[in-house]
Amino acid sequence: MLRIDCLRAIYSDLEKCLVVTIMGALPAELQSLGHRPNFFYLQHAMGLASSTGLGLALSLPHQKIVVLDGDGSLLMNLGTLSTLARYKPKNLVHIVFDNESLLSVGGFPTATNTGTDLEGIARAAGIPQTCTVRTVDDFASAARRAISGEGLQTIVAKVEATGPKAFVTDLGLLENRFQFRRHIQSLAAKSR
Protein backbone atom coordinates (compact mmCIF):
# COMPACT_ATOMS: atom_id res chain seq x y z
CA MET A 1 0.00 0.00 0.00
CA LEU A 2 1.30 3.43 -0.97
CA ARG A 3 0.72 6.44 1.25
CA ILE A 4 -0.12 8.65 -1.75
CA ASP A 5 -2.90 6.24 -2.77
CA CYS A 6 -4.29 6.47 0.77
CA LEU A 7 -4.13 10.27 0.66
CA ARG A 8 -5.81 10.30 -2.75
CA ALA A 9 -8.58 8.02 -1.47
CA ILE A 10 -9.54 10.42 1.36
CA TYR A 11 -8.55 13.72 -0.27
CA SER A 12 -12.15 14.83 -0.80
CA ASP A 13 -13.09 13.74 2.75
CA LEU A 14 -10.46 16.12 4.14
CA GLU A 15 -12.13 19.16 2.60
CA LYS A 16 -14.22 20.05 5.65
CA CYS A 17 -11.58 19.04 8.23
CA LEU A 18 -8.62 20.89 9.68
CA VAL A 19 -5.59 18.80 8.79
CA VAL A 20 -2.19 18.79 10.53
CA THR A 21 0.65 16.77 9.03
CA ILE A 22 4.19 15.84 9.97
CA MET A 23 7.24 16.85 7.91
CA GLY A 24 8.89 15.16 4.96
CA ALA A 25 7.36 12.96 2.29
CA LEU A 26 3.79 13.14 3.61
CA PRO A 27 3.24 16.90 3.16
CA ALA A 28 5.01 16.80 -0.21
CA GLU A 29 2.62 14.08 -1.38
CA LEU A 30 -0.44 15.85 0.03
CA GLN A 31 0.60 19.09 -1.68
CA SER A 32 1.10 17.20 -4.95
CA LEU A 33 -2.60 16.31 -4.78
CA GLY A 34 -3.41 19.97 -4.20
CA HIS A 35 -2.78 22.29 -1.27
CA ARG A 36 -5.79 23.64 0.59
CA PRO A 37 -5.99 26.42 3.18
CA ASN A 38 -7.22 23.93 5.79
CA PHE A 39 -3.93 21.96 5.63
CA PHE A 40 -1.09 22.81 8.03
CA TYR A 41 2.24 21.10 7.47
CA LEU A 42 4.46 21.00 10.57
CA GLN A 43 7.80 20.90 8.76
CA HIS A 44 9.85 20.13 11.90
CA ALA A 45 9.24 19.64 15.64
CA MET A 46 8.85 15.90 15.10
CA GLY A 47 6.22 14.42 17.38
CA LEU A 48 4.17 17.57 17.89
CA ALA A 49 1.65 17.23 15.03
CA SER A 50 -0.64 15.20 17.31
CA SER A 51 -0.21 17.72 20.17
CA THR A 52 -1.15 20.51 17.75
CA GLY A 53 -4.20 18.49 16.71
CA LEU A 54 -5.17 18.15 20.37
CA GLY A 55 -4.85 21.92 20.90
CA LEU A 56 -7.10 22.49 17.88
CA ALA A 57 -9.59 19.80 18.91
CA LEU A 58 -10.00 21.14 22.45
CA SER A 59 -10.29 24.74 21.21
CA LEU A 60 -12.74 23.96 18.38
CA PRO A 61 -14.95 21.15 19.71
CA HIS A 62 -17.37 21.30 16.76
CA GLN A 63 -14.68 21.10 14.08
CA LYS A 64 -13.28 17.78 12.86
CA ILE A 65 -9.49 17.63 13.16
CA VAL A 66 -7.37 15.10 11.27
CA VAL A 67 -3.72 14.51 12.20
CA LEU A 68 -1.59 12.77 9.59
CA ASP A 69 1.27 11.33 11.64
CA GLY A 70 4.11 8.92 10.94
CA ASP A 71 5.90 6.16 12.81
CA GLY A 72 9.16 8.11 13.21
CA SER A 73 7.36 11.17 14.54
CA LEU A 74 5.05 9.28 16.85
CA LEU A 75 7.93 7.26 18.30
CA MET A 76 9.58 10.56 19.28
CA ASN A 77 6.55 11.55 21.38
CA LEU A 78 4.80 8.39 22.54
CA GLY A 79 3.54 10.32 25.56
CA THR A 80 1.17 12.13 23.23
CA LEU A 81 -0.96 8.97 23.05
CA SER A 82 -1.50 9.06 26.81
CA THR A 83 -2.37 12.77 26.66
CA LEU A 84 -4.80 12.24 23.75
CA ALA A 85 -6.37 9.32 25.61
CA ARG A 86 -6.69 11.37 28.80
CA TYR A 87 -8.84 14.04 27.11
CA LYS A 88 -10.43 11.86 24.35
CA PRO A 89 -11.52 14.70 22.09
CA LYS A 90 -14.48 13.37 20.09
CA ASN A 91 -13.51 15.42 17.06
CA LEU A 92 -9.96 14.15 16.55
CA VAL A 93 -8.86 11.47 14.07
CA HIS A 94 -5.24 10.37 14.41
CA ILE A 95 -3.91 8.64 11.31
CA VAL A 96 -0.40 7.16 11.49
CA PHE A 97 1.31 6.20 8.25
CA ASP A 98 3.72 3.50 9.36
CA ASN A 99 6.39 2.82 6.73
CA GLU A 100 8.76 1.37 9.37
CA SER A 101 11.35 3.85 8.20
CA LEU A 102 12.87 7.30 8.64
CA LEU A 103 12.49 7.77 4.92
CA SER A 104 13.51 11.39 4.52
CA VAL A 105 16.95 10.85 6.06
CA GLY A 106 17.83 7.79 4.00
CA GLY A 107 15.39 5.09 5.02
CA PHE A 108 16.76 3.93 8.35
CA PRO A 109 14.41 1.36 9.92
CA THR A 110 12.39 2.50 12.94
CA ALA A 111 11.40 0.27 15.86
CA THR A 112 8.14 -0.67 14.11
CA ASN A 113 10.43 -2.55 11.70
CA THR A 114 11.62 -4.70 14.59
CA GLY A 115 8.24 -5.47 16.11
CA THR A 116 6.94 -2.37 17.89
CA ASP A 117 3.18 -2.23 17.44
CA LEU A 118 1.91 1.36 17.39
CA GLU A 119 -1.74 0.34 17.38
CA GLY A 120 -1.08 -1.81 20.45
CA ILE A 121 0.63 1.12 22.19
CA ALA A 122 -2.26 3.45 21.29
CA ARG A 123 -4.82 0.94 22.59
CA ALA A 124 -2.87 0.36 25.80
CA ALA A 125 -2.53 4.13 26.27
CA GLY A 126 -6.32 4.33 26.34
CA ILE A 127 -7.26 5.51 22.84
CA PRO A 128 -10.87 4.28 22.66
CA GLN A 129 -10.85 3.10 19.03
CA THR A 130 -7.82 1.78 17.16
CA CYS A 131 -7.16 -0.28 14.06
CA THR A 132 -4.38 -1.31 11.68
CA VAL A 133 -5.06 -1.35 7.94
CA ARG A 134 -3.04 -2.78 5.08
CA THR A 135 -5.06 -2.09 1.92
CA VAL A 136 -6.23 1.18 0.39
CA ASP A 137 -9.86 0.04 0.54
CA ASP A 138 -9.61 -0.80 4.23
CA PHE A 139 -7.80 2.47 4.89
CA ALA A 140 -10.38 4.54 3.02
CA SER A 141 -13.34 2.95 4.77
CA ALA A 142 -11.73 3.19 8.23
CA ALA A 143 -10.68 6.82 7.70
CA ARG A 144 -14.07 7.83 6.26
CA ARG A 145 -15.89 6.18 9.14
CA ALA A 146 -13.68 8.00 11.62
CA ILE A 147 -14.00 11.38 9.87
CA SER A 148 -17.78 11.19 9.54
CA GLY A 149 -18.29 9.61 12.96
CA GLU A 150 -17.55 10.66 16.51
CA GLY A 151 -14.84 9.67 18.94
CA LEU A 152 -11.08 9.72 19.19
CA GLN A 153 -9.50 7.14 16.98
CA THR A 154 -5.98 6.07 15.98
CA ILE A 155 -5.67 4.39 12.60
CA VAL A 156 -2.30 2.82 11.80
CA ALA A 157 -1.83 2.45 8.05
CA LYS A 158 1.03 0.15 7.06
CA VAL A 159 2.56 1.65 3.92
CA GLU A 160 5.62 1.09 1.74
CA ALA A 161 8.74 3.10 2.46
CA THR A 162 8.64 5.13 -0.75
CA GLY A 163 7.99 8.78 -1.39
CA PRO A 164 8.65 11.68 -3.72
CA LYS A 165 12.20 12.62 -4.78
CA ALA A 166 12.06 16.11 -3.25
CA PHE A 167 10.36 17.33 -0.09
CA VAL A 168 10.68 21.10 -0.44
CA THR A 169 7.69 22.76 -2.10
CA ASP A 170 7.12 26.37 -3.09
CA LEU A 171 4.72 26.93 -0.18
CA GLY A 172 6.53 28.97 2.48
CA LEU A 173 6.28 27.77 6.07
CA LEU A 174 5.00 31.10 7.36
CA GLU A 175 2.67 31.51 4.37
CA ASN A 176 1.13 28.15 5.25
CA ARG A 177 0.88 29.03 8.94
CA PHE A 178 -0.81 32.42 8.46
CA GLN A 179 -3.13 31.10 5.76
CA PHE A 180 -4.20 28.23 8.04
CA ARG A 181 -5.04 30.59 10.92
CA ARG A 182 -6.91 32.97 8.59
CA HIS A 183 -8.88 30.04 7.24
CA ILE A 184 -9.95 29.06 10.77
CA GLN A 185 -10.90 32.67 11.50
CA SER A 186 -13.03 32.75 8.35
CA LEU A 187 -14.80 29.53 9.44
CA ALA A 188 -15.55 31.13 12.82
CA ALA A 189 -16.89 34.26 11.11
CA LYS A 190 -19.16 32.17 8.88
CA SER A 191 -20.59 30.17 11.77
CA ARG A 192 -21.48 33.33 13.73
Partner 1 sequence: MPVSLENSKLIYRALKACGIRLLSALPETWLVHLIQIAEDDPEVTLVRLAKEEEGVGLSAGAHFAGVKSAMLMQNHGFLAAINGIVSFAHLYKIPLLMLISYRGSFGERDPWQTQGGNVTEPLLRAMNIPYSFLDASSSVEKRIAQAHTLAESSLQPVALLLTRDLMWEE
By CB under 8 A, tell whether 153 contacts partner 1: no
Q: Which is nearer to partner 1, 80 or 153 (CB)?
A: 80
Single out the residue of 56, 103, 127, 147 in contact with partner 1 (rule: CB under 8 A): 56
> Cα-flanking dihedrals φ and ψ of residue 41, to 5°?
-105, 110
> Distance between CA atoms of 184 and 179, rounded to whole angstroms?
9
Single out the residue of 73, 80, 91, 130 in contact with partner 1 (rule: CB under 8 A): 80
Single out the residue of 43, 104, 113, 116 in contact with partner 1 (rule: CB under 8 A): 43
Three-state SS string across 148-172, please? HCCCCEEEEEECCCCCCCCCCCCCC
- Contact (Cβ atoms closer than 8 angstroms) between residue 112 and residue 100: yes
Binding part of the chain for partner 1, among 46-54, 101-109, 134-142, 157-165 by CB under 8 A, reads 46-54
Single out the residue of 39, 40, 97, 139 in contact with partner 1 (rule: CB under 8 A): 40
